[in-house]
Amino acid sequence: MIEGKPLRTVRSFVRREGRLTPAQQRGLDELWPDFGIDEGDQILDLNTLFNRDVPKVFEIGFGNGSSLAKMAADQPDHDFIGVEVHRPGVGQLLNNIGEQNLTNLRVACTDAVELLKHQIADNSLDRVQLYFPDPWHKKRHHKRRIIQPDFVALLAKKLKTGGHLHMATDWEHYAEHMLEDLSSSDDFINCGDETGFIPRPDYRPLTKFEQRGHRLGHGVWDLLFKRR
């Protein structure tokens, strides 16, 4: 507390709104009512949200949403919730949902930490996906990285026993940071090999960003941890 005021919560993102294209604005206007998740403080019944009981996957920071839309299309026996703070990406994903007639994908435009805390029930998720989060590579900014012990503990509460946390990054130092924080948790078991990492699983699409990185010789590290 400073002079009677609570300390500001350190966020792992900076809102860079950008300009919405007319198509992205239409997606928000026309498709949000059917596929958007509004902010609130009531726990969501995910089976009611999707009108069925199948595995639930929660992705944090989907960017423009193309990879998440492909995963939803390729895995019709799973339901997906995507969370992104940047409205242009949300509008674009909503358009993908409409164009591909995806019924197994819902979208939230909010802080994923707050959504998890207030609207996602404990022991309700089968997989959490965190792909290429902001590495905040300067040392003084490391406190902004989303993977921290408190957040790992929150994810453990929301995942079912046997559920998985799948992460990927193209920053080796951040990969090591993730590996250390997850390995230090009593709630998770590493599913990787002796290095601690796994090959990219087939269900995670290879993005254009990642393909460009491969051409430039950049590495990508995937980590998979199972909830005890």
- Catalytic machinery residues: 134
125 touches 161 (CB < 8 A): no
- Which of 79, 85, 178, 174 has its CA nearest to residue 134? 174
Q: How many residues does the chain have?
A: 228
- State the first-to-last Cα distance of the chain, in angstroms, to the nearest integer: 36
66 touches 80 (CB < 8 A): no
Tokens at 123, concatenated: 């022991």
